[in-house]
Structures are given as structure tokens and as C-alpha cells.
Structure 1
Amino acid sequence: MENYSLLMGAAAVMKMAVEMAAVSMEKPSGHFPLPVPERDSVPDLGFAMTAALELFSYRGFLQMEASASTALYPVHRCKTIYLVRHAQGVHNVEGEKDHSAYMSPALLDAQLTPLGWSQVDCLREHVTKCGLAKKVELVIVSPLLRTMQTAVGVFGGGNYADGASASPLMVEGAGHSGRPAISSSNCPPFLAVEACREHLGVHPCDKRSSITKYRTLFPAIDFSLIENDEDVLWVPDVREANESVAARGMKFIDWLWTREEKEIAIVTHSGFLFHTLNKYGKECHPTVAEELGKHFNNCELRSMVLVDRSMLGSDTPTCNFPGKIPAGLDLPSDVADKKLAENGQV
């Protein structure tokens, strides 16, 4: 096998040498790093061969160490997640004008602005055109008004028709939106999860309303995983630390392995995404870490592949095929060579 590989490498080098010799018959245009024979001279195959070997050493390629940063994982141990930050909320606008506005009780459970809804429409158009809308099997959403408005606006069905058998995802005008009701037909299920909320505490905009209220506004969102009707996680005098948000985020990511869905959209918040992804970035190449660690824009979507390196999930392969059907002789040549060597016949 090694001789065959070397033979193939030699053939490739010879091909390159001939091509370089042909090029050497032409006058160079611009800078050329190697001396070029005159037009009327005979191509120097030895020169070309030497140059080719300098440019590409097949033996050297064979001796290269495999990159430790490259990894292969079975598909059934991976998920694709689509991370989305909510669209522009009224707290984003007021907070940028005056940071003290984040302390305003008037911004309790802040809703989207008209511009925010325009951002939702743009993202919806994108996920529809690129086919992502049909791939998503589950939408997980932070149970705050702005994230739920974003989630149903992007991934929900079309306008809800009165008399439809299924409940709407969002009723007309929910959260002072001025928007028509959104259908729950022809779209994935929606699941509210507290673990992907924004920093908890102090800022009223990050305090959620009661689940009872939400169920009237978003009838088709599943709130069954939320234990308390009122927001018992938010406190007025202590802001959740960044490290706590990151730890919560990593637990949330691990929890995703309890779900059978392979392609999941997650609509959440800037701080949650920033601190969680920066934790994962510490294990990556600096360029990848920088990419992970960037703050999300309003209504930005990023696609990630989640890999189960610790066997947290229990998925079995669905697309693999065992082969040997019908059964027959199929001894691989490398195994045959090994057996021959073990029997002393080589």
C-alpha cells in the first residue's frame, strides 16, 4: 500500500513538472519567483521536477501529523441549534438614551418596538427563504414578552383565522404590538424555558409577568416546564452575576440532550448568549473563540453544531445502515494483509 501511495504521489509530481515546463515556454507576465528559460530553449524537465518537489513534497505530506484540532463525531451525537437574540425592545431604546431607564418600573417585562417587529419580519423572511423554517423541530423561548413576541413572529404560522381548530400562538395585539393574531399551524412546537432567561434581578425589564397572563396572550406556547405562576427568580436588589449566567447557560445546553429533536431554535437574550458562548469559546481556536464571543445584534441568528462529547444523550443512529445485507464474503484487503502476516506468509 505504501509503494502504491508513493507511486501515485510520483505521478502527481510528474504531472506538475510537465505543466511547469509548458508554462516555462511562455514569457512571464509580472513577477515570477523562478527563472524562466528563453522561448526557443528546450524545457528543462529536471529543473521543473526540482521546483515541483520544492513546491509539493508528497512524502512530506504523508509524514504530516494529523491535526489534533480536527475531530469526527457520529451525526446522531450532534444537534444543530439556531440561537436568536430577541428583536429591539423598548428597554433597548430607553436604556441607550439613559442607562438609568433600566431601573424604570415602566419597562417591566418590556415589549418589542415597532422597529423590533420590522426586524422580526426581516428574520422571518430570511428563515423562510433559506429553508431553515422547515428544518426547525422545536422552538425554545425565554418566557419574557419580548422573546416570545420574537419567537412566534419569526417561527410561527401565518395570520390566525377566526374559527381555526388550533389555538393561536399569539392573540391579536399581544403586548401592545398592534399585530394580528399568529397561527400555530404549519410550524414547530414552542416551549418556554426559564433557564435561558436574561440576567435575573434589579432591572424591571427582565422581570416576567405571570404565566396565567402569558397563557392568555400566547395560548399555544407550552409553559408546562415553568413551576411558578409568578416570577420568583427575579429579586429587586440583587443582580445575577455573569458567572452565574454562564453556569446556568451551560446547564441549559446540557439539558438540550434530554430532547429528542435534532434541530432546535432558541430565542433568548444578549447577556445570556454572550456569557454562555464565551465559556465554550475557551476550548476553541482563538479565531473561533472571537466569533463565539461577539455580542448578538437585535434579532440576529447564528447556527451552531452541538456535540455530545460526554454521552449526555441517548440517541441511536437513524440513518446508519449495518451492511452485509444480503450477507456475503467481504474481507477488507488490509485485514487480509494482517492475517497473512500473522500466519507468517509474508
Structure 2
Amino acid sequence: MDASISPLYPSHRCKTIHLVTHGQGMHNVAAKKSLKALLSPKLFDAPISTLGWQQVADLRKHVLASGLLKRIELVITSPKSRSMSSSTGSLGGEGYVDGTDAPHLMVEKAGNSDRSAISSLNCPPLLQLALPRTFGIYPCDKRRSINEYRALFPSFNFALIENDDDILWMADTRETNEHVAKRGMEFINWLWTRKEKEIAVVTHSGFLYHTLSAFGTDCHPSIKDGIRKHFANCELRSMVIVDRSMLGSDSATTNFPGKIPSGLDLPSDVAAEKHQDKLTPN
């Protein structure tokens, strides 16, 4: 066997994750002019820009054309306006038309945008989680209260967000890269507690970069670089994570045990040899 080929793993020990970054945010626009601009209070919970919405629309076309949207069983989103707007626009339901009575996924003009309302019709569940984000110093990284978000994104599931206010963001301390990477691994491990086999994660480039820095050490350098490189705005990368430690509890749903044969199920030449041994007197 070629040593460069990965070993086989049972499919029920694998999970596909589609990692997505939000569309261009207003803080991304400001940072191109000056990094100091990121300290501006005006960038609190920075929404996505006009270009960002176009990026979201382009991603939407891709996930529809590829059939990906039909396979995704769950969307996990960081609790920020730009992440929720991006996940809604790319992986959510359709816009409202006559006769549509599905609950709102995003209300009209949410996130300081000029966007029409988006319905929750035929879209996967969207779950909020605090883990996939970064914290500290920059107002653009601070979230609004959950009650505010509920009014803007009514069909999102906020049950796993414990506090209404953002108690994790710190005005005078930036989370270290090492801590982001550690929390990223906690997030990857948490994914194994989910029953879904194909999950989309809409989050931030910094979080993904530091989380993925732990992976790819056993791969060809080009593959490792592909895993670890920075994400562009509204970029999607599909990856497979493998549970080699029995962390998950899933059982195989497609395996079938077959029937127990009456004799040894051996290659014909081996079976013939064993049969001859039985005929040979001691």
C-alpha cells in the first residue's frame, strides 16, 4: 500500500463540515484604510457591506447549483450580525412571495441593510453558538444582546447562548491566538456530540485560521497549506473530520452484518488446502 494514501475509516466515524466565512464586513472596509479604525465604536457588531451582500448572493448561487444546500442538515453560526446575515442569505430560505407563510429567518432591513425579509421555508435549522468567534478590544467583535438578535433573526435557535449580554468580550484584553486555537479544538470535539453528519459553520476568518493550524501535519505540504491558509470573505471549504478515538457515539446505519456462513468464508485455494488437511489421515 502506498504510504502516502490515507488509511480507511468507517463512514459513521466521519463527519463533513462546510466552513464558511461571512461576507465582507464594514470593519473589513475600515481596516483597509487603517488598522486603528477597528477601535472605532461605530463598528460595534459590524454588519456586512454592500459588496459583502453580493458575495453572499454569489455563494448562494454556488450552494444551490452544487446541490450542497440539500445535503446540509444543520447550520452553526457565530452570534454576530455579519455571520447571521451571511448564513441567512447563503444557506437560508427564499425571499417572501405571495402565499409564503413560513416564519421569518431574517426581518426586512436587518443588520443595517436594505435587504428584503428572508423566510425560513425549506432551510436547515440554524443554531447559534458562542464558541466559533474571537473576543476582545475591537468593538466589531462585540455582539448585541440576544434579545435584539431574536427580533432581527426570529427563526434562529439561541438556546445554547447562556447570557443575553456579551460577557465574553473584553474592552482591554485581546484573546490570545493560543486560546483561540484551544477553543477551536473544543468546538471541533463538540461537533461530535451532534447527530448530524453534514454541518455548515458560518464564522470568522481569524477563528478558522487559528483552529485549523493544528491540522495537516501528517499531510503533503500542499494539502497542509491548503488547510491552514487564511479564508477570504464568504469563502467555503468542505472538509471531513474523523473520530479515531471513539469520542462520538454514533453507530453505523448503512452497515449490514450479512448471514453467518455454514463454513469458513475463505479464498478458494486456502479452503481447498484446509479441506485436503481434513482428508489426510494422522
Cα separation, 2, equivalents of 1:221 and 1:188: 10
Residues 264 and 271 in structure 2, CA contact (< 8 A), matched pair in contact too? no
Structure 1: 5+ residue stretches without partners: 1-64
Q: What residue is the counterpart of 1:295 in the other structure?
A: 230
1:281 deviates by 2.5
Cα separation, 2, equivalents of 1:341 and 1:143: 71
Establish whether residue 159 from structure 1 lines up as the match of residue 95 from structure 2: yes
Cα separation, 1, equivalents of 2:9 and 2:277: 32
Q: What residue is the counterpart of 1:129 in the other structure?
A: 65
- Which TM-score applies when normalising by structure 1? 0.76
Of 256, 267, 270 in structure 2, the residue corresponding to residue 333 of structure 1 is 267
Q: What residue is the counterpart of 1:266 in the other structure?
A: 201
Q: What residue is the counterpart of 2:146 in the other structure?
A: 211
- Counterpart AA for 2:80: L
Cα separation, 1, equivalents of 2:108 and 2:98: 11
Cα separation, 1, equivalents of 2:259 and 2:216: 42
Residues 91 and 205 in structure 1, CA contact (< 8 A), matched pair in contact too? yes
Please state whether the residue corresponding to 2:15 is helix, strand or coil.
strand
1:284 deviates by 2.8
Structure 2: 5+ residue stretches without partners: none
Q: What residue is the counterpart of 1:322 in the other structure?
A: 257
Q: What residue is the counterpart of 2:33 in the other structure?
A: 97
Cα separation, 2, equivalents of 1:262 and 1:231: 30
1:177 deviates by 1.1
Q: CA RMSD in A?
A: 2.1
Establish whether residue 200 from structure 1 lines up as the match of residue 135 from structure 2: yes
Deviations 1:29-73 (A, max 9, x none): xxxxxxxxxxxxxxxxxxxxxxxxxxxxxxxxxxxx541652100
Q: What residue is the counterpart of 2:176 in the other structure?
A: 241
* CA 97–336 in structure 1, closer or farther in 2 if over 3 Å, else same: same
1:318 deviates by 1.2
Establish whether residue 305 from structure 1 lines up as the match of residue 240 from structure 2: yes
* CA 338–187 in structure 1, closer or farther in 2 if over 3 Å, else same: farther
Q: What residue is the counterpart of 1:228 in the other structure?
A: 163
Please state whether the residue corresponding to 1:249 is helix, strand or coil.
helix
Q: What residue is the counterpart of 2:18 in the other structure?
A: 82
Q: What residue is the counterpart of 2:191 in the other structure?
A: 256
Q: Which of 1 and 2 has greater Rg?
A: 1
* CA 149–331 in structure 1, closer or farther in 2 if over 3 Å, else same: same
1:312 deviates by 1.0
Question: By percentage of residues, which structure has more helix?
Answer: 1
Deviations 1:59-97 (A, max 9, x none): xxxxxx541652100001101100001000000000111
Deviations 1:262-311 (A, max 9, x none): 00000000100111111112343322111111110000000001111111
- Counterpart AA for 2:121: S
Establish whether residue 286 from structure 1 lines up as the match of residue 221 from structure 2: yes
Please state whether the residue corresponding to 2:186 is helix, strand or coil.
helix
Please state whether the residue corresponding to 1:336 is helix, strand or coil.
helix
Cα separation, 2, equivalents of 1:328 and 1:90: 70
* CA 167–284 in structure 1, closer or farther in 2 if over 3 Å, else same: same
Cα separation, 2, equivalents of 1:269 and 1:339: 62
Q: How many pairs does the alignment contain?
A: 279
* CA 311–100 in structure 1, closer or farther in 2 if over 3 Å, else same: same
Of 76, 80, 94 in structure 2, the residue corresponding to residue 140 of structure 1 is 76
- Which TM-score applies when normalising by structure 2? 0.93
What stretches of structure 1 move > 4 A for 4+ residues in a row?
Answer: 161-165, 327-330, 337-345
Cα separation, 1, equivalents of 2:241 and 2:23: 24
Q: What residue is the counterpart of 1:52 in the other structure?
A: none
* CA 311–175 in structure 1, closer or farther in 2 if over 3 Å, else same: same
Cα separation, 2, equivalents of 1:213 and 1:98: 30
1:342 deviates by 7.5
- Counterpart AA for 1:265: A
Please state whether the residue corresponding to 1:194 is helix, strand or coil.
coil
- Counterpart AA for 2:40: S
Using the TM superposition, name which of 308-317 and 214-223 deviates more. Answer: 308-317
* CA 338–272 in structure 1, closer or farther in 2 if over 3 Å, else same: farther
Please state whether the residue corresponding to 1:264 is helix, strand or coil.
strand
- Counterpart AA for 1:319: T
Please state whether the residue corresponding to 2:16 is helix, strand or coil.
strand
